[in-house]
Amino acid sequence: MCGIVGVVGNSKAIEIVTTGLSRLEYRGYDSAGVAALDEAGDLHTCKEVGKLAALLEKIPAFTKRVGATSTAIGHTRWATHGEPSVTNAHPHVGTMGPFTLAVVHNGIIENHTALRTKLSASGAKFVSATDTETLPFALAHALQQGAASPLAAVQQLLPTLHGNFALVAMAQGVPDELWGTRRGAPLCVGLGQGAANYLVSDPLALAGICERFMFLEDNDVVHVTPHTIEIFAAGERVVRPVQTLDLSADASGKQGFKHFMLKEIHEQPAVVARILSAHTHATTRLPALEFSPTIAASLASATAINIVACGTAYYAGMVGKYYLEQLARIPVNVDVASEFRYRNPPLVAGGVFIAISQSGETADTLAALEHAKAHGQTILVFTNSPHSSMARAADCTIPLLANREIAVASTKAFTAMVLNLLLFALQLGLQRNLLTAAAVQEVIQQLRELPTQLQEQLEHTVPIQSLANNLATMPGRSLLYLGRGLLAPMASEGAIKIKEISYLHAESYPSGEMKHGPIALVEPGLPVINLAASNDGLLEKTLSNLQEVAARRGEVILIADSAATSQLPANLQAIVITVPTVHPLLLPFSFSIPLQLLAYFTATAKGTDVDQPRNLAKSVTVE
Ligand code: F6R
């Protein structure tokens, strides 16, 4: 979602801010802007709508106008309040009496209307439609009313704000000082070498500049100068631990691939190998996820598990439900986080709650997690971001180990979620004496062969490309995805992927649901993508569903292993994409590749912006 970069004490402040913003582009945004103080301490802003390239065109003239500066803040905005426009882009500036401040902000100030009314009555002249603009006016107003410093003004303002947010402020006439605060949205301090420090919403913005970071806690207020970092919680000075991060892999670029998404699809064999090496035992060949004695005890006694997630992570959760129920015989409820958080579901004391999130920052999932925590659940988080808000709130974090995912459409993180959930379910099944060590070792052995199998799939993509070319130019704009068992959530994952990046409308259903409604959609030429395996005990049923589509002259597309495709009735015309035959528990992996590539090639054939599809953001930090 939005991105924040702030710099003090570096003579290349504007350049660092714009480079940082370009590293955060992947998060999704629709306008961008920079503010800087000139040598006299005067505040200047430069903003543009659309891609960062549009802002960058204006930056040479802006830099000339500002002259030497070492204090700058910048922002990429994903519109929530007010359309994408130059006026609504951040930084926002507010003047009250002699005080002028500029603010960049992620998240939402939910009580902005009340603040706006109050500040307007005190003379604030608003120009934008944003919630953010209330912030610089509120800070300037607090100073006008006698707050001793901008730090005191931020401390006064914080308890009056509702919602989840992170903000960074600078003040006219006060060079080399920044102030920030956060609640529910990330903000961290980058510790510069020498006389410079930074405030960013994501350390990636500072790849190559900083290695050491302090992650702020909810309701921390920070004051940063080139030589000092002061953090306050409830008015008291606090110290947050310094974490050293290696961002080189995260910032390694597309490495010759046309898009980050394609690169990340191709990284999956390596991701699988990395997870197996870290989360299985080299000699016993058993899962080796590490749990503290308390967590292990909670897992041993758990009678039910709640899994909560959004989007693709939710579909991974559906696969996880299947694994946990089949392998560990634990009843699992999977919820979309935005529903769970407001439904107030009954939660048994001592229950286990699992949040799954690539970013670890998704607002709905985080809120659901906080709800579960408040109701005495043991919180496990499967996340790709070990320093995220969810990881910090969890009792135990299972790192996904997918390395940074840049493309908005999730691919390798999904695979990493599913693999870690499978290892988790195998470990629980073993601990509960439901599985023998030999049975688990057999699955792990099959998993070890997966990187080679996935690699082979990635090297044979011609049939998928030709299907994608057909889909991209088909007269209709709708698709159906069907699957059963483990392939039902995979059908949903295939549908969300193609929707996100190719903008084709795609519905997914468990195949058995077809005749309860969706079959009414089938008309001549409607592409129906069926997922089928020869060894999950469900093939016969799936083949009947194919016949039902064919009878209505829908376009039958079958993604299946060769043993399944060989059972197709001779008179049934179908476009076939073959996947390797794998252990039935491994179906999500072998089906992921064609589903991801189909979405990717359809999008490239349509010429859409694959890595940053319209309206979407990588990390959804607002409701
Ligand atoms: C789909 C996609 C989204 C995310 C969802 C949850 O490709 O990327 O549906 O899966 O927004 O995000 P995380 O996993 O960060 O909580």
Q: How do the domains of the chain map onto residue ranges?
A: 3-251, 261-456, 460-606
So what's the pLDDT on residue 88? 95
So what's the pLDDT on residue 200? 97
Q: Burial of 349 by CB count in 10 Å (0-12 exposed, 13-18 middle, 19+ buried)?
A: exposed
Residue 549 CA: distances (Å) to CA of 473, 480, 518, 556, 568: 21, 10, 11, 7, 13
Residue nearest atom 3 of ligand 1, based on CA coordinates: 311
CA angle 169, 174, 179 (to 5 degrees): 25
List beta partners, residue 104.
168
Question: How far is ligand 1, taken at its centre, from the CA of residue 605, in Å?
Answer: 24
d(CA 109, CA 166): 10
Specify the ligand 1 atom closest to the Cα of 362. Answer: 16
Specify the ligand 1 atom closest to the Cα of 497. Answer: 7
Whether ligand 1 lies within 6 angstroms of the CB of 358 is answered as yes
The pLDDT tens digits for 163-214 are 989 999 999 999 999 999 999 889 999 999 889 999 999 999 999 999 999 9
CATH, domain 3-251, list 3.60.20.10, 3.40.50.880, 3.40.50.11740, 3.20.20.70: 3.60.20.10
Q: How far is CA 96 from the centre of its chain?
A: 38
Cβ neighbors of 148 (< 8 A, separation 6 or more) are none
Angle between helix 134-144 and 150-157 (nearest 10)? 120
Whether ligand 1 lies within 6 angstroms of the CB of 155 is answered as no
Domains 3-251 and 261-456 share a fold: no
Question: How far is ligand 1, taken at its centre, from the CA of residue 76, in Å?
Answer: 19
Angle between helix 112-121 and 134-144 (nearest 10)? 50
Cβ neighbours, 10 Å, residue 11: 12
Specify the ligand 1 atom closest to the Cα of 417. Answer: 14
Residue nearest atom 5 of ligand 1, based on CA coordinates: 311
Query: Which of 165, 115, 122 minimizes the C-alpha distance to 144?
Result: 122
Question: How far is ligand 1, taken at its centre, from the CA of residue 359, in Å?
Answer: 8
Through-space distance between the first and last CA atoms of the chain, rounded to whole angstroms:
12
Question: How far is ligand 1, taken at its centre, from the CA of residue 396, in Å?
Answer: 21
Query: Which of 56, 90, 137, 437 minimizes the C-alpha distance to 280?
Result: 437
Cβ neighbors of 584 (< 8 A, separation 6 or more) are 486, 533, 535, 536
Cβ–Cβ < 8 Å for 480, 470? no
Whether ligand 1 lies within 6 angstroms of the CB of 493 is answered as no
Whether ligand 1 lies within 6 angstroms of the CB of 311 is answered as yes
Class of domain 460-606: alpha beta
Phi, psi of 333 (to 5 degrees): -110, 130
Whether ligand 1 lies within 6 angstroms of the CB of 592 is answered as no
So what's the pLDDT on residue 351? 92
The number of helices, as runs of H, and strands, as runs of E, in the chain is 19, 25
Phi-psi region of 97 (alpha: psi -120 to 50; beta: other; left: phi over 0): left
Specify the ligand 1 atom closest to the Cα of 408. Answer: 8
List beta partners, residue 48.
32
Query: Which of 402, 399, 397 minimizes the C-alpha distance to 415?
Result: 402
The ranges of the chain with pLDDT < 70 are: 1
Q: Burial of 358 by CB count in 10 Å (0-12 exposed, 13-18 middle, 19+ buried)?
A: buried
Specify the ligand 1 atom closest to the Cα of 618. Answer: 8
Question: How far is ligand 1, taken at its centre, from the CA of residue 250, in Å?
Answer: 18
Specify the ligand 1 atom closest to the Cα of 359. Answer: 15
Whether ligand 1 lies within 6 angstroms of the CB of 313 is answered as yes
Any idea which residue has 């925590």 for tokens? 373
Q: Burial of 510 by CB count in 10 Å (0-12 exposed, 13-18 middle, 19+ buried)?
A: middle
Whether ligand 1 lies within 6 angstroms of the CB of 28 is answered as no
Question: How far is ligand 1, taken at its centre, from the CA of residue 260, in Å?
Answer: 16
Whether ligand 1 lies within 6 angstroms of the CB of 383 is answered as no
So what's the pLDDT on residue 329? 96
List beta partners, residue 509.
482
CA angle 234, 240, 242 (to 5 degrees): 165
Cβ–Cβ < 8 Å for 83, 129? yes
CATH, domain 261-456, list 3.40.309.10, 3.40.50.720, 3.40.50.10490, 3.60.130.10: 3.40.50.10490
- Encoded amino acid at 137, one letter: F
Whether ligand 1 lies within 6 angstroms of the CB of 620 is answered as yes
d(CA 384, CA 398): 9
So what's the pLDDT on residue 477? 77
Cβ–Cβ < 8 Å for 310, 623? no
Question: How far is ligand 1, taken at its centre, from the CA of residue 332, in Å?
Answer: 21
Cβ–Cβ < 8 Å for 464, 594? yes
- The SS3 call for residue 141 is helix
- The SS3 call for residue 42 is coil
- Catalytic annotation, residues: 2, 618
